[in-house]
Structure 1
Amino acid sequence: MSIASSRKKILVTGAGGFIAHHLTTRLKEMGCWVRAADIKQPEYEATHADEFMQVDLRDRVNCAAAVEGMDEVYHLAADMGGIGYISQSHAEITLNNTLIDVGMVDAAHKAGVSRFLYSSSACVYPQFLQHDANVVALKEEDAFPAAPEEGYGLEKLYTEKLCQYFTEDFGMATRVVRFHNVYGPLGTYDGGREKAPAAISRKIAKVLDGDMIDIWGDGEQTRSFMYIDDCVEGLVRIMKSDYSLPLNLGTDELVTINQLVDIVAEAAGKRIRKSHDTTRPQGVRGRNSDNTRLRDVLGWEPKIDLRTGIVPTYTWIAEQLSALDKGSAQSAYLLAAVAAPSR
C-alpha cells in the first residue's frame, strides 16, 4: 500500500486563493494527502499540496477529474472579491459560480466522496435585516424569507439548498459554512478584489504618519472580521462534525469601518486622517455573526480578536509593498544605467 492510499485523501478547491491555501497547509500538517485544484497557483507562497491541478472548474469534466479517488472535499473555489467587485459583476459572478458549484456538487456525489463541505457566505442573509449599523447578529434561520445580496449572495443561497437536496435525496453528507469576512496574511490586498482589512492595511502602509486615506462610505457601517487561523480551525471542526445544516463561521466582535481604520493605524504606529467618499459602494449598513449555534454544535468559536489578528496582517502587507517598492527602484536604476551614454 502506498503512503497516499494509507492516508485520508482530501480535495481542496480554490487552493490558489487565500483561505483554501491556508486550509491546504493545515490539512498537510494533520497528515492528510491533499489534492489542490484551482484555475491559478497561489500568488504569494508555493502550495503545500501533494498534487496541484491547475484547471477551470467551470468545466464539469475538470470537476470529475478533481474529485476522482477523494475521500472528502472542501469546496472553496469561487469567483468573488470585495464589495466593489461583487456589486458591479452580478452576471459574471452568478454564471461562473453556478457552473463551478453545480459541477462540483454533482461530481462529488457521482464519485462517492464521504463528505462534501461547501463554503457559503454571510451575503446570503436578507438585506432588510442589515439596514442598521447597530445590527442584530444574524442567526442561521434568518436566511429565510430570502432577500440575499444580488448575484454572489443569491447564488450562494441556491447552492446551500442544492447541498440540502443532495443530502435528502441521495444521502450525500454535506456541510455548509457561512463565512463572515476573513482576513490575514497571504490574502489579496490590491486590485479590486481585496476585503476591507487588507485594503485599509494597504492604504495605511503606503502613506506617512499624519497623512490622509480615503474610506468608502461614511465609515460608520459595521462588520465583524475573522482571522484566518480561526477560519481554518472552524472548517476542520465543522467537517468532522455530524451537523449538516448551514453554520455561521465568524466572530461576533462588531466594529465600524472607522474603528477598523484606527485599529490598523495603531498596528502601523501611524496617526491617520480619514477622507470619506459616500459615492463608493459600501454594502449593507451592518452585519454581524450570531455564534450561538456554532458554540452548540462545536463547543468552540473563533477566539482571535481584531487587534491581535491585524498585527501580522498589516505587517505582511507592509512587507509586500516594501519589497515591490525596492524592486521598482532597482528596475528603474538598471534601466537608467542601460540608457546612460557610454564614455
Structure 2
Amino acid sequence: MTTKRVLITGAAGFLGSHLCDRFIKEGYHVIGMDNLLTGNIKNIEHLFPLKNFEYYHHDVTKFVHIAGDLDYILHFASPASPIDYLKMPIQTLKVSSLGTHNLLGLAKDKKARILVASTSEVYGDPAVHPQPEEYWGNVNPIGPRGVYDEAKRFMESMTMAYHNFHGVDTRIIRIFNTYGPRMRLDDGRALPAFMSQALTGQDLTLFGDGSQTRSFCYVDDLVEGIYRLLLSDYHLPVNIGNPVEITLLQFAQEIVELTGTNQKIVHRPLPTDDPKQRKPDITKAKTILGWEPKVDRKEGLKITYEYFKQALGK
C-alpha cells in the first residue's frame, strides 16, 4: 500500500508541530513547511532523522510547489496571537489570503483534500453565546484585531469558493482557545503570559476586570478533532474547542494555585475589541465526528506547567 503524503504548513508552530507528530504516528509521509516567522524549528527537530518526514523553509504567500503526489494539505500557517498579528498585520493578512490561494491552487492541481485552520475569532465579540457555526459574527473590520479576524473570514470564503466552483475537496475547522506544551513563552495570550509571569516572580497581568470568559482546550484533544474532521465527509465549518467556560480572573487564580506562587493579580485596561465571551457550541463535532474533549483542564494545566518550568529552566 502506498504511503499517503500530507503537507502541513506552519509545521514549526505550536499546533503545526503537534500535527506533524500525529500524522507521523499514523504512518503518513509528512512534508512540513514553515518560514519561521513565529514558528520554532526546535518543535520539529526530533522529526528530522525520520525518513517519512521532510521540511521546507518556505513562505506560503509565495508560489508553493511540491513534487509528486499529495493526498492532504493542512493549512496552519499564520500568526495566531494578538501580540504577533498586531506586530505583523500585513503578513497576517497575506498568509490567510495569498497563502490560502496558493494552497487551494495546489490542492486543485494535486486533487488533494485541504483542511484550513480558521478560528473562533471569526465570531468577533459575539452577540450569540455559545457560538454555533451558523452565527455570522460581530467583527470590527478596521479595528486592530481586524487583520486576523477578517483574514480568517476571507480564508473561509475563498475555501468555499474553490469547493463550489472548482470542486476542491475542502474542510474548515474553527479553533477555540487551545493550550499545551510548545506554546511560546512570549505568545501574549492568557495562559503563557500567566504561567511565565508566575514562574519569573512577576505579578499576573489581567486585562479588564477579568469577567471576560474563555474556554480552554488541551492540544491533544484539538489534534484528535482535526484528524477526525480531515477524514470526515463534512465540508462546512466545524467548531473544535472545549465548552467548559471560565472567567479570566478565575483562570489567573487557578494558575497562581497551580504554580504555588504568591504574586498579585494586577489589572490593566481592556484591549480594543477584546471578546467578552468565548465558548464553542460543539454539537456538530459531537454528532458528525463523534468528538468531544477528554482532557480535564486541571490535568492539562499540570502537563503544560511542567513544560513551561523546563522551558524557563526552573
TM-score, structure 2 as length reference: 0.89
Q: Deviation digits for residues 255-277 of structure 1, max 9, x if unmatched?
A: 11111112222221233321111
- The match for 1:330 is none
User: In 1, Cα distance between the equivalents of 2:84 and 2:161?
Assistant: 30
Q: Structure 1's 128 and 7: CA in aligned 2 closer, same or farther, altered over 3 A?
A: closer
Whether 1:317 and 2:313 are equivalent positions in the alignment is no
- The match for 1:138 is 131
User: In 1, Cα distance between the equivalents of 2:190 and 2:137?
Assistant: 27
Which has the higher mean CA deviation after the structures are superposed, 157-166 or 40-49?
Answer: 40-49
Q: Structure 1's 153 and 196: CA in aligned 2 closer, same or farther, altered over 3 A?
A: same
Q: Structure 1's 275 and 282: CA in aligned 2 closer, same or farther, altered over 3 A?
A: farther
Which of 8, 13, 16 is 2:4 aligned to?
Answer: 8
Contact 2:12 2:44 in 1 (8 A): no
Which of 201, 209, 223 is 1:218 aligned to?
Answer: 209
Which has the higher mean CA deviation after the structures are superposed, 162-171 or 143-152?
Answer: 143-152
Whether 1:38 and 2:34 are equivalent positions in the alignment is yes
Shift of 1:195: 2.4
Which of 254, 269, 289 is 1:298 aligned to?
Answer: 289
Whether 1:240 and 2:231 are equivalent positions in the alignment is yes
Whether 1:75 and 2:75 are equivalent positions in the alignment is yes
Q: How many residues are treated as equivalent by the alignment?
A: 304
Q: How does 1:278-293 map to 2 (within 5 A)?
A: 278=269, 280=271, 283-293=274-284
Which one has the bigger helix percentage?
A: 1
Q: Deviation digits for residues 236-272 of structure 1, max 9, x if unmatched?
A: 0001111100000101011111111122222212333
Q: Structure 1's 213 and 196: CA in aligned 2 closer, same or farther, altered over 3 A?
A: closer
Shift of 1:37: 0.7
Whether 1:55 and 2:58 are equivalent positions in the alignment is yes
Unaligned 5+ segments in structure 2 are none
SS in 2 for 1:127: coil
Unaligned 5+ segments in structure 1 are 130-134, 324-343
Contact 1:221 1:257 in 2 (8 A): yes
1:53 partner amino acid: Y
- The match for 1:337 is none
User: In 1, Cα distance between the equivalents of 2:156 and 2:43?
Assistant: 31
User: In 1, Cα distance between the equivalents of 2:126 and 2:129?
Assistant: 12
- The match for 1:335 is none
- Percent of aligned pairs sharing the same letter: 28
SS in 1 for 2:134: helix
Q: How does 1:129-208 map to 2 (within 5 A)?
A: 129=127, 136-143=129-136, 150-190=146-186, 193-207=187-201
- The match for 2:25 is 29
Q: Deviation digits for residues 51-71 of structure 1, max 9, x if unmatched?
A: 0111111101xx1x2475211
Which has the higher mean CA deviation after the structures are superposed, 225-234 or 48-57?
Answer: 48-57
User: In 1, Cα distance between the equivalents of 2:204 and 2:137?
Assistant: 38
User: In 1, Cα distance between the equivalents of 2:26 and 2:151?
Assistant: 32
2:194 partner amino acid: I
